[in-house]
Amino acid sequence: MQVYSVTQINSYIKNLFVRDFLLSRITVRGEVSNCKYHSSGHIYFTLKDRGGSISCVMFSGQRERLTFRLQDGQEIDASGQITVYEKNGTYQLYVRDCRLSGSGELYERFLQLKEELAEMGMFDDIYKKPIPRYAQKIGIVTAATGAAIQDIINVSARRNPYAQLVLYPAKVQGEGAKESIVRGIRVLDDMGLDVLIVGRGGGSIEDLWAFNEECVARAIFDARTPVISAVGHETDFTIADFVADRRAPTPSAAAELANFEYDVLEEQFAAYRSALEKNTSQRIRLLKSRLQACTERLGRLSPGNVLSNKRQQLKASGDAMRHLIGMKTERNRQQASRISDRLQLVMHKRLENSSHRLKMAAVRLDGMSPLKRMSGGYGYLADESGRNIRSVKEIRPGEKMTTYIQDGRILSEVISAEEVKQWKLE
């Protein structure tokens, strides 16, 4: 009996899969689970149905063909080749291409159109028009029968029974629905209404598809009137929701947004009226008080009273002025006398100090007199140009010099000049 290795068996089985025409070009439908995007760029996931599951891998080179992001719970049709991974002996589907199945095709179209319109800027907040706070004329584009229009009517009647509702009975499902919705938006937009509600009740993606059409999105975007989108239930999203000026989760919620509460407004008006009356009464009382004060002041400020008061003030001011002048004159005289005495004293002291300093300077000057020193046996030397000689460095042997003494001068010739660092007394 021949014995085979595990590798040989796995290789043999893989060759069986490779040679099988069906397994080499197969499309498998199932629900995505355990989907993982690997850092290498590969996508690993499992396709399952009620009866079983199969492992799948989509390599990074094939990811470029994806027009949507794989997520758990999606039902897809995955095309590729089923083969064996020899290393662990398991088989798996190597996916080359995949697409959403059934309603998934519509969802894929929804994603593609959403991406295109987003790139065009049709969802940008800069284009969103504000919803009027106190709308009186409300246009509605929806089916004439059904829960949506009834919900809008009921909510509007409860919040503002005086609001004017204008219905354009549009076809919201099936053939011709998108054209009917576009026509309704354009007709109501030309009527000069305050706000438009465009929507319908809930349903499948096929039922709501008219609100995912590009022409409907462009009609909402081009409308001059603010548009509230109210399509389906809270979890339903359509292209109309993204391009509208405001999205409401349901038609009832759209009616809530479009209609202000009339009772609340009346209560606000009543509060404003009460506050206005209160403020007006307080203002009137304040003005009356000011008027009385002004009347009393006017009596006090009559020309006769003012003139009499001015005369009294003038007399009092004159008396005060004369008294003040007298006091100031006496103070100035006394101050001038004190200043004169101080000035004489200061001048006398300064004169004595100056005389003393003059005597001291005369004594010092006499002591420094050249003639007096010369009388004591001193003299001074000068060169031929008459310049004083203060150092032996200023005269050279052979030069002539003059010695000035008390009673004359002596002309001599230098035989030698010797520098002495320090004189010593013998």
User: Within this chain, do residues 140 and 227 fall inside the same structural domain, yes or no?
Assistant: yes
Task: Report, as an integer, the average pLDDT of 192-218.
Answer: 89
Same domain (yes/no): 178, 255: yes
Alpha-carbon torsion (133, 135, 141, 146), positive or negative = positive
Q: Which domain holds residue 388?
A: 373-413
pLDDT in tens, 69-85: 888 777 888 899 998 88
Same domain for 31 and 70, yes or no, is yes
Q: Which of 235, 260, 285 finishes a domain?
A: 260
My answer on whether 169 and 127 are in the same domain is yes
0.85 exceeded by pTM: no
pLDDT at 324: 84
Over residues 244-262, the mean pLDDT reads: 91
Would you place residue 104 in the very low, low, confident or very high pLDDT band (cuts 50, 70, 90)? low
Q: What percent of the chain has pLDDT over 70?
A: 93
The two tokens of residue 189 are 């937009």
In a domain, 341, yes or no: no
Amino acid 267: pLDDT: 82
Within a domain: 280: yes
More confident position, 146 or 156: 156
Q: Which of 232, 260, 288 is the last residue of a domain?
A: 260
DSSP string covering 265-323: HHHHHHHHHHHHHHHHHHHHHHHHHHHHHHHHHHHHT-HHHHHHHHHHHHHHHHHHHHH
Based on the domain organization, do 194 and 243 belong to the same domain? Answer: yes
Q: Is the same domain home to 271 and 226? A: no
- Number of C-beta neighbours around residue 93 at 10 A: 25
Are 256 and 266 contained in the same domain? no
Residue 220: per-residue pLDDT: 95
Q: Return the H-helix or E-strand segment holding 405.
A: strand 400-405
In a domain, 242, yes or no: yes
Q: What is the pLDDT of residues 219-233, one digit of tens each?
A: 999 999 999 999 877
Per-range mean pLDDT, top range of 138-142, 291-295, 358-362, 399-403: 138-142
Q: Tell me what the pLDDT averaged over the chain comes to.
A: 85
Closest CA to 154 of 298, 256, 276: 256
CA distance 291 to 280: 16
Q: What average pLDDT score do residues 298-310 get?
A: 73
The number of folded domains in the chain is 4
Cβ 181 vs Cβ 197: under 8 Å:
no
Q: Is the pLDDT of residue 406 over 80?
A: no
Q: Do 97 and 70 share a structural domain?
A: yes
Q: pLDDT > 90: what percent of the chain?
A: 31
Q: Residue 357 falls within a domain, yes or no?
A: no
Question: Strand locations in 145-245, DSSP E?
Answer: 164-169, 195-200, 227-231
Confidence of residue 426 (pLDDT cuts 50, 70, 90): very low
Q: Is residue 189 pLDDT above 50, yes or no?
A: yes
| Banded model confidence at residue 387, pLDDT cuts 50, 70, 90 | confident
Query: How would residue 140 be classed by pLDDT, with cut points 50, 70 and 90?
Result: very high
Per-residue pLDDT, 169: 94
- CATH code for the domain of 146: 3.40.50.261
pLDDT in tens, 33-58: 888 999 888 999 999 888 888 999 99
Query: Is 424 within the bounds of a domain?
Result: no
- 348: alpha, beta or left? (left if phi > 0; alpha if psi -120 to 50): alpha
Cα–Cα distance, 106 to 208 (Å, whole number): 11
Q: Identify whether the C-beta of residue 97 lies closer than 8 Å to the C-beta of residue 61.
A: no
Tell me, what's the pLDDT at 368?
Answer: 66
> Is it the case that residue 315 has pLDDT exceeding 60?
yes
Whether residue 123 has pLDDT greater than 70: yes
- Is the pLDDT reported for residue 185 higher than 50? yes
Same domain, 146 and 179: yes
340 in a domain, yes or no?
no
- Domain membership of residue 360 (yes or no) is no
Q: What is the pLDDT of residue 416?
A: 85
Domain contains 82: yes
**Do 81 and 49 sit in the same domain of this protein?**
yes
- Looking at the structure, do residues 270 and 254 belong to the same domain, yes or no? no
Q: Please spell the DSSP secondary structure of 47-68, one letter per residue.
A: EE-SS-EEEEEE-GGGGGG-SS
pLDDT, residue 129, reads: 94
Residues 89 and 130 in one domain: no
pLDDT at 340: 82
Strands 53-58 and 90-100 come out as: parallel
Residues 211 and 220: their CA atoms lie apart, in Å, by: 10
Phi, psi of 172 (to 5 degrees): -110, 10
Indicate the residue among 101, 130, 151 that finishes a domain: 101
Angle, helix 214-222 to helix 103-119, in steps of 10 degrees: 40
248 sits in which H/E element: none
Whole-number pLDDT of residue 377: 67
Q: Which residues pair with 97 in a beta bridge?
A: 79
Which two tokens mark 5? Answer: 């290795």
277 band by pLDDT with thresholds 50, 70 and 90: confident
pLDDT at 105 (0 to 100): 62
CATH code of the domain containing 16: 2.40.50.140
